[in-house]
Amino acid sequence: MSNDTATRPPVTPNEPDHGFELTRRRRWPWIAGGVVVVLGAVAAIGIPLLNPTKSANEVTGATLLVATAEGNAAEQSLVNFVAEKVAPKYGIKIAFKGLSDSNTINRAVSDGEVAGTVYQHKLWLSQVLQSNPDFAETAATPVFRWGFGIFSDKYTDVKDLPDGAKVSLYSDPANESQGLWLLERAGLITFKPGIDKARATQADIATNPKHITFTLLDFGAQSRALPDLDAAVGYTEYYLAAKIPLSKEIFAPAAPDEFAGQLTIGSKYATSDNIKKLVAAFKDPAVQKFLATDPSVKDILLPLDAR
């Protein structure tokens, strides 16, 4: 999952300013001395460039940062739990880092500025990688299922939705597919035979007996628009954040495996000892027990065995 579908082009850093200029002088004694100074300066500058600072992912004993979107309290709570209660068992140190948006998080993971993130499912990651071919990331292991359901301000059962119901889906392709699949599971639409339901589009709908019309909205806008809709399909956390009670969620089976939240890591660090231990920590059974019992993630992050 993500809270920002916008993509930013990669930022190319400016060429470094070396702080000196080679000039020709008329007096030979100064030239010799100048060469020594210049060569010394080049050496001093060249060494860091030829030996760049290693990522914490490759440094024994370094603190491994796990990032999610700023303000996501449930995901922060999960990372903090792993940091405090699980990581010491694996001989690593973990800390939470909040970052501003999807691209910032994924670039930081790809570049090794952070060790990983838990904010996205595989379909979202594939969408990010398609838009940013310079990113190198891998979904290392599923960790949880997000609460995801059909909400309505007007109806208490999906069967009560009227003919011509106005229903909102998310405006990014991956979560639009997840929403369509949920409507199919609720019996409101059917798909054409043989399609990949995890990548379904509106063009894949075979039957729509209630003649539902779809409105595409982003994460925050959807929950705000609920009074103007017959129903909306989205993440439970956004509705709870908007002070919409859980009683407005009228259909919410566990999300399919394709939409499980993943620990995503930088591909080039996958074989490093630190990252192997990080993945093992998030696979620890204590994580699933935390998700099943801790009130800080209740109804938002569900254990993998949720049904």
Same structural domain, 137 and 152? no
Q: Decide which of 214, 229, 253 is a domain's last residue.
A: 253
The residue range of the domain holding 91 is: 56-147+259-302
Q: Does residue 28 lie within any of the structural domains?
A: no
Query: Which of 253, 277, 294 corresponds to the end of one domain?
Result: 253
C-alpha separations of 196 from 190, 200, 203, 204 in Å? 13, 6, 12, 9
Given this model, what pLDDT does residue 232 score? 98
Tell whether 65 and 139 lie within a shared domain: yes
In a domain, 229, yes or no: yes
Residue 152, domain member (yes or no): yes
Mean pLDDT over residues 54-62, rounded? 95
Reported as a single tens digit per residue, the pLDDT across 137-171 is 999 999 999 999 999 999 999 999 999 999 999 99
Domain CATH number, residue 173: 3.40.190.10
Domain limit, last residue, from 238, 253, 268: 253
Would you place residue 244 in the very low, low, confident or very high pLDDT band (cuts 50, 70, 90)? very high
* Residues 263, 139 within the same domain: yes
Token readout for 56 is 């914490």
Average pLDDT of the segment spanning 66-86: 96
Would you say residue 11 has pLDDT above 70? Answer: no
Q: Residue 41: what pLDDT?
A: 39
Lowest mean pLDDT among 43-52, 56-65, 246-255: 43-52
B/e letters for 279-302, b = 16+ CB within 10 Å, e = fewer, are bebbebeebbebbeeeeebbbbbb
- How far does Cα 247 stand from its chain's mean position? 27
Query: Could you tell me if residue 4 is inside a domain?
Result: no
Are residues 236 and 157 part of one domain?
yes
Structure tokens, 268: 């080039």
d(CA 120, CA 194): 26
Identify whether 25 is part of a domain: no
Please state the domain count of the chain: 2
Residues 172-177 have a mean pLDDT of 94
- Give me the mean pLDDT over the 96-109 stretch: 95
- What single letter denotes the amino acid at residue 58? E
Distant-in-sequence, close-in-space partners of 114: CB < 8 Å, separation ≥ 6: 64, 65, 66, 67, 97, 99, 105, 108
